Amino acid sequence: MKITNVEVWQEDYQLVEPYTIAYETFTKAPQVFVRIENNKGISGYGCASPDLFVTGETTTQIFNVLKKHGDEVLIGKDPFIINRHRYSMQKNMKDFPGARAAVEMALYDMLGKHCHLPVWRLLGGYRKSIKTCMTIGIKPLDETIAAVNDKVKEGFLALKIKGGADVEEDIEKIMKVREAVGPKIEIRFDANQGYDVNETMHFVQATQKANLSIIEQPVGKMRHEDLVTLTKHSEVPIMADETLIGLMDAFKIARNGLADMVNIKLMKCGGITEATQINAVARSAGLSAMVGCMDELALGISAGLHFALAHRNVNIADLDSHLEIIGDPTAAAVIFRDGHLFPSAKPGFGYDP
């Protein structure tokens, strides 16, 4: 079997509403699609949705690097020697993890369709669904309360509240959110590097009664000593997000005790295989892992979901961006029900137009 065609294109999708985090406000979700076809007529699909602040790449750069190198890496090759293609991409697309993730996604999608199996089963399989949170961006207090109430009514069992711009406002917001949703809903908090150590510890102490489950990336991604301090002294588990891009970062986090947990995103690390290696490092160090996302369509969310479903240690999910994107053509690839995310019953990642 040989790869006969590689197609790359860009699309922009509007968000249901803009959302703000500590360093940026987002209004749309630009995507780069990849379609890889083989001589048996099977097509595999992938997509990339990078964050310049996190991965250092734009959708235009991803499009250009895939157009430049996609054919030479893939055309005429066996589509199922995925590791060999990964190493070739590492050489040609080293600084573009989103591009590598999209190609690997398309190759795994093709493999699943060829085998008539969903990818999570091909990866070994562990569970059939996973609880996911819904992320609430930085909003005024009254809008935040309205939003969390709506999401609980929609069936979410976990909420992630964004903050990091004003610690006192964040404290008030978290306490009001807990009051609004009651004791059974899980609440996570993400400061997106907005705090220093003193602000973080003040936040932890002031929100004790809110029973937070996670504080995600409270300080700057390179402030390793601060992360060590917080991990040692915070009563709430500290999760590394922006500090973790690739495999070597996972090793540094594990070796130096920078966090209690790690947030693995396929767009950050370059795909499922690298994510699996990162998870192995985390597991060996006793760190639990969450699978997260950028502003991804359901196709990208599906790839993260299938990765999580195959690995016991990836027991937390933040896979919700597709629910806030208007006109997602891949929406049927995943199913949200009763607070959990389920894969489509279709082979591959569940998308085939």
d(CA 197, CA 274): 31
> Is residue 216 flagged as an active site residue?
yes
> Is residue 265 flagged as an active site residue?
yes
d(CA 181, CA 173): 12
CA 87 to chain centre: 22
Query: Cβ(300)–Cβ(103) under 8 Å?
Result: no
Q: Kindly name the residue from 265, 274, 320, 328 that is annotated as catalytic.
A: 265
Pairing of strands 340-343, 130-131: antiparallel
Q: Kindly name the residue from 190, 260, 320, 328 that is annotated as catalytic.
A: 190
Q: Kindly name the residue from 57, 199, 241, 242 that is annotated as catalytic.
A: 241
Cα-flanking dihedrals φ and ψ of residue 129, to 5°? Answer: -160, 170
> Is residue 232 flagged as an active site residue?
no
> Is residue 128 flagged as an active site residue?
no
Q: Kindly name the residue from 113, 151, 160, 162 that is annotated as catalytic.
A: 162
Q: Residue 92, Cβ neighbours under 10 Å: how many?
A: 16
**Greatest CA separation for the chain:** 61
Identify which of 86, 87, 79 has the alpha carbon closest to the alpha carbon of residue 107.
Answer: 79
> Is residue 24 flagged as an active site residue?
no
Q: Kindly name the residue from 216, 226, 295, 318 that is annotated as catalytic.
A: 216
> What positions carry a catalytic annotation?
162, 190, 216, 241, 265
